[in-house]
Amino acid sequence: MRALIQGLVAAAGCVMSAAAQHAMPSAPTRVETLGLTVTIETPSAATGGASAVVRFGVPAGGGPPPHRHTREDEVFVILAGSYRFRMDGVCIEAGPGDTVYLPRGHVHQYQNVGSTPGEHILTLLPGGLEQSFVDMAAMGLQMPRDFAQLNQMS
């Protein structure tokens, strides 16, 4: 795909900047971990660390326990399912087409409270956390058994 895009850019008489080369698409990385399907659509390496975009498949009833990120803000775009988000004691319901922003430093949780699988796109600002899902899958970590270790990784 990269060669095709570079060829199109060259054919159009354009010069590709270093920033544009960072934005070149790459094959998504997909892993199964913690009962979730995690697909890294845009790794932080492609954005110079500024952000990452990750797609999650969440089974009915699935989602993480309450946790806190000290480094990342999160923006969720719900594609399918019925979600409940909790942050600092406040609950909101979200469904397809809804966007939810969770700033760093706050205890939060999401759960697919519907009876069908959920799917959402998560944008991480800055990026970097997406690699922890690949690491968790490689280590075979599971909830709730490995919660303490998982919490240290995020």
The pLDDT of residue 9 is above 50: no
Mean pLDDT calculated for residue range 85-110? 97
Q: Which two tokens stand for residue 1?
A: 């795909």
Mean pLDDT calculated for residue range 14-37? 69
Q: Do 29 and 40 touch, CB atoms closer than 8 A?
A: yes
Mean pLDDT calculated for residue range 39-53? 96
Per the DSSP assignment, residues forming a β-bridge with 133 are none
The pLDDT of residue 19 is above 70: no
Radius of gyration of the chain (CA): 17
The pLDDT score that the predictor gives to residue 34 is 80
Is beta strand 73-80 parallel, antiparallel or unpaired with respect to 29-33?
Answer: unpaired
DSSP state of 105: T
Q: Do 73 and 102 touch, CB atoms closer than 8 A?
A: yes
Judged by average pLDDT, the poorest of 25-29, 32-36, 80-84, 103-107 is 25-29
Q: What percent of the chain has pLDDT over 70?
A: 74
Q: Which one is predicted more confidently, 2 or 12?
A: 12
The pLDDT of residue 17 is above 80: no
Q: Which strand (E) or helix (H) includes residue 111?
A: strand 108-112
Confidence bin at 134 (pLDDT 50/70/90): confident
Q: Which one is predicted more confidently, 77 or 144?
A: 77
E strand map for 88-138: 90-94, 99-102, 108-112, 118-125
Residue 63 CA to residue 78 CA, distance in Å, equals: 13
Secondary structure percentages of the chain, helix, strand, coil, to 5: 25, 35, 40
The pLDDT of residue 67 is above 50: yes
E strand map for 3-107: 29-33, 36-42, 52-58, 73-80, 83-87, 90-94, 99-102
The pLDDT score that the predictor gives to residue 100 is 98
Mean pLDDT calculated for residue range 126-153? 77
pLDDT, one tens digit per residue, over 120-133 is 999 999 999 998 88
